[in-house]
Structure 1
Amino acid sequence: MRSTLAGKYLSKLYVQVVIAIIAGILLGHYMPDLATQAKPLGDLFIKMIKMLLAPIIFASIVVGVARMNNVHEAGRVGLKAILYFEFASTLALAIGLLIVNLFKPGSGMNIDPSHIDAGAIASYTQKAHQHGGAIDFLMSIVPNSVVGAFANGDMIPIIFFSVLLAVALARLGKPVEPFVDMLDMFLQGMFGVVRIAMYVAPIGAFGGVAFTVGKYGIGTLASYGELILCLYLTSAIFVFVVLGIVMRLCGLSLLQFLRYIKDELLVTFGTASTESVLPQMLVKLENMGIPKPVVGLVLPTGYAFNADGTAIYLTMAAIFISQAMNIDLSLWDQLILLGVLLFTSKGSAGVAGAGFVALAATLASMHKIPVAGLVLLLGVDRFLNESRAIVNLIGNGVATVVVARWEKVLDLRQARAVLERGSALPVDAPKDNPAEAPAKSAASLGN
């Protein structure tokens, strides 16, 4: 009986990932040299998922938008998504700015900028200069080659091309329906590959955590404890207060939603990557009663434009560096910093080391805080990355719910039933009754 019960729990992905994370921490702490060699395990899992992201994002957007009965609906959904993204990102930046000024985690470090060796961050500063400003970001949206965008995994150009193709197919109507159906079948095949890849998710989480603890050590947590606590506190306030209120306004429970995506949260924590769970999030949000067109358009776009966790990190990291170097920033300087971050945080989407690149680009453009100050964050960045990734994941899941509710296409009864169960409903589960159905049905978006 006990062995059957243990086997039942051990078969669950979140239990396997928790065990893997604990094992990774122990190995990293007690055998750091061996733990650092486990890095390829985490990298290999993320690489396996990344190879599927471009086709999944492409097919999700094309199938979703092409099946909308009216192209104007796609534009309306996209506009509402962008408006919400800007609202959430601005709020995240503002909360981060408030907390870091309140607790001042960098005060007392008294770092002399002239004694800092910036060689360790040369690659990030180089990318920051390549990154450029708003014009360069707008130019980068259009790929030089569609094939090149897919080969390099450039998310924003892929989304741009996918939307254009989807709108063209939607306008063509019935003649191209077989092609859209074929893409839908291809998408289901990709999800099947993801399910196979998730069998090794615990190994990826183990490798990522073991490497982080082995390379940087538990002692790093103590050295930068105040900064880490401030970041996690701010993240918790944003998630449980801000996003909690948003979910409540949508008629759903945030805590139930977090329980529903617990597997994805743990995998994200272990790998410090939201990309590793994008395919599963697409499926889970659709199973909640959100029409495929809305999920397929909003969630991938959110990955590129709605990084709430990164927004919190950027403000706190920039002010932390200024505090550590005793650089006094006026209120006006900090408001300018917030405005610049609104652009640089978007422009870094899809870039390796996106948080560092965006921060380097911001500091370089302001000329107030030395870019070399990024060195202070090198040892602790990986520990901060888990928080960034988890908040980004939750924020984009909530954003998809918000847009669906805003469009009046969220099947509330199904969503509540799924969240209360903590898993998807059976195929033959009852849908919304007319009394509770939204004004515009999911069918009106072609689902």
Structure 2
Amino acid sequence: MAVSTEKKSNNNLLFYYILIALILGIIAGQSVHSFCSLKTIALVSENIKLLGTIFIRLIQMIVAPLVFCTIIVGISKMGDMKMVGRVGGKAMLWFISASLVSLMIGLIWINLLKPGTTSTLDLSNTASASDLIANSHQLTLAEFVNHVIPKSLFEALANNEILQILVFAVIFGVALASFAEKGTSITKALDIVTHVILKIVSYIMWVAPIAVFGTITAAVSSHGLSVFKLYANFLAAFAIGMVSLWIVLILVGYIILGNRVFALIKTIKSPLLIAFSTTSSEAVFPKLVDELEKFGCNPKIVSFILPLGYSFNLDGSMMYMTFASIFIAQLYGVEMSLSTQLIMLLVLMLTSKGIAGVPRASLIIIVATCSMFGIPPEGVALLIPIDHFCDMARSMTNVLGNALATTVVSKWEKNADA
């Protein structure tokens, strides 16, 4: 009991440290932006964001082996392949439904509020999109298959290709489960490795406040808080869309979980804040595994569903991609019928899978989608100054969506602690 109280106290302490770091980062960043020369701003931004880079790299160091171990342990412990199929089917039902709802919410609000038609952005300032446009060719069917199917497990582990690791781990887990008792020793060994990694996570998390300070300071010093005035129409509409998505997710969670949904949000408050501050939902994956198990979700369900969610259930990113694509169309006066927008929604549904951990993947997908529908792809450059701040909201929403998905499936399997 004393150990549990101590862990809870540490979690609360970490949450407050991160919150303080977030506030200090905003103050420091705005001070640099207001009182320093452009050269100094660039120097400060470039160097202080290394604090965030260190934290992200520490997490990336353990995400691949953690996904590999948790998936195999989860499947092999289930034993019954019918259960694996049933749990996987329920998860995919949630993922597809949540993705469609997220896309539709973005579609509805961007058409109702039309922030692109009232924007005063300079459409000629699009040079910063050249790299994104150059990389958008990767979104072909052939490249998608290459991204999903691993050529080598070690290459996938080295490059943190979560989807490829997932594919191999599922196959390996199913094969290991077929050995029944003979495979128990391997399952136990991987289970021990998983808990060792989670112990490492408990150490790394104390670096999070420093990372938050560095990341926020770098972002605010580069653009300044005045950027919110320039993008006021877009940000206000985006905030309404994101709040609507949260309301829908929590409402569905309440219907299934009851009042426990609010306890869940309280439990994952630290992962939510870290994802918000560092703009990386991947950075909190190990911490989220630990918190969901503490919440009462069956470890077998968590081990199987959560890694799947990181490839197939990015609710915040989905809403943003629909929202941003049609916003660019509105900026350039490109008329899009409802049927065309619905087709775009389905295209985004397919092309967005497996983007977790890929830098600026949302922007690359938006570029490719715009090109496909006759929208000037260079318009994505107009979103770059504000993308970091939008990424904060969508990363936090991705974490909420995956936590809900895992808890709901666990409830459906009658494995959630009542």
| Residue matched to 2:131 | 123
Give the partner amino acid of 1:18: L
The question of whether the paired residues in 1 share the 8 Å contact of 2:11 and 2:270 is answered with: no
| Residue matched to 2:170 | 163
Distance 1:363 1:13 in 2: 41
Change (3 A) 1:230 1:25: same
Distance 1:227 1:111 in 2: 11
Give the partner amino acid of 1:99: W
Q: Using the TM superposition, give the Cα deviation of residue 170 of structure 1 relative to its aligned residue in structure 2, in angstroms.
A: 0.3
1:408-427 CA deviation, whole Å, 9 max, x = no partner? 3222x2xxxxxxxxxxxxxx
Where 1:128 maps in the other structure, the secondary structure is helix
| Residue matched to 1:410 | 416
Distance 2:263 2:270 in 1: 13
Deviates further, 66-75 or 152-161:
66-75
Give the partner amino acid of 2:67: I
In structure 2, which of residues 395, 405, 408 is the aligned counterpart of residue 399 of structure 1? 405
1:19-40 CA deviation, whole Å, 9 max, x = no partner? 1001100010011326413110
The question of whether the paired residues in 1 share the 8 Å contact of 2:48 and 2:218 is answered with: yes
Matches within 5 A, 1:253-402: 253-366=260-373, 368-402=374-408
Any gaps of 5 or more consecutive residues in structure 2?
Answer: 1-8, 34-40
Deviates further, 102-111 or 391-400:
102-111
Q: Using the TM superposition, give the Cα deviation of residue 255 of structure 1 relative to its aligned residue in structure 2, in angstroms.
A: 2.9
1:345-392 CA deviation, whole Å, 9 max, x = no partner? 1153432211111111211222x2111110110111001000110110
Matches within 5 A, 1:32-71: 32=33, 33=41, 35-36=44-45, 37-71=47-81
The question of whether the paired residues in 1 share the 8 Å contact of 2:118 and 2:233 is answered with: no
Give the partner amino acid of 1:269: F
Q: Using the TM superposition, give the Cα deviation of residue 314 of structure 1 relative to its aligned residue in structure 2, in angstroms.
A: 0.5
Distance 2:354 2:175 in 1: 27
Distance 1:211 1:339 in 2: 36
Deviates further, 28-37 or 326-335:
28-37
Q: Using the TM superposition, give the Cα deviation of residue 69 of structure 1 relative to its aligned residue in structure 2, in angstroms.
A: 2.6
Q: Using the TM superposition, give the Cα deviation of residue 209 of structure 1 relative to its aligned residue in structure 2, in angstroms.
A: 0.5
Deviates further, 19-28 or 351-360:
351-360
The question of whether the paired residues in 1 share the 8 Å contact of 2:71 and 2:303 is answered with: yes
Matches within 5 A, 1:40-119: 40-109=50-119, 115-117=124-126, 119=127
Q: Using the TM superposition, give the Cα deviation of residue 10 of structure 1 relative to its aligned residue in structure 2, in angstroms.
A: 11
1:174-229 CA deviation, whole Å, 9 max, x = no partner? 11211110111111110111111111110001011111101111111111122112
Distance 1:256 1:229 in 2: 29
Where 1:405 maps in the other structure, the secondary structure is helix
Distance 1:120 1:365 in 2: 20
Change (3 A) 1:110 1:303: same
The question of whether the paired residues in 2 share the 8 Å contact of 1:131 and 1:347 is answered with: no
Distance 1:9 1:392 in 2: 24
The question of whether the paired residues in 2 share the 8 Å contact of 1:9 and 1:15 is answered with: no
Q: Using the TM superposition, give the Cα deviation of residue 9 of structure 1 relative to its aligned residue in structure 2, in angstroms.
A: 9.2
Change (3 A) 1:185 1:240: same
In structure 2, which of residues 219, 235, 243 is the aligned counterpart of residue 236 of structure 1? 243
In structure 2, which of residues 211, 223, 229 is the aligned counterpart of residue 222 of structure 1? 229
| Residue matched to 1:27 | 28
Task: Give the total of aligned pairs.
Answer: 401
Where 2:220 maps in the other structure, the secondary structure is helix
Change (3 A) 1:9 1:297: closer
The question of whether the paired residues in 2 share the 8 Å contact of 1:348 and 1:357 is answered with: no
Distance 1:160 1:399 in 2: 20
Change (3 A) 1:194 1:124: same
Change (3 A) 1:9 1:175: closer
Distance 1:235 1:112 in 2: 26
Question: TM-score normalized by structure 1?
Answer: 0.86
Change (3 A) 1:63 1:9: closer
Where 1:346 maps in the other structure, the secondary structure is coil
CA RMSD of aligned residues (A): 1.8
The question of whether the paired residues in 2 share the 8 Å contact of 1:68 and 1:293 is answered with: yes
Where 1:257 maps in the other structure, the secondary structure is helix
The question of whether the paired residues in 2 share the 8 Å contact of 1:156 and 1:350 is answered with: no
Change (3 A) 1:26 1:84: same
Any gaps of 5 or more consecutive residues in structure 1?
Answer: 1-7, 414-447
In structure 2, which of residues 170, 175, 183 is the aligned counterpart of residue 176 of structure 1? 183
* More helix by percentage: 2
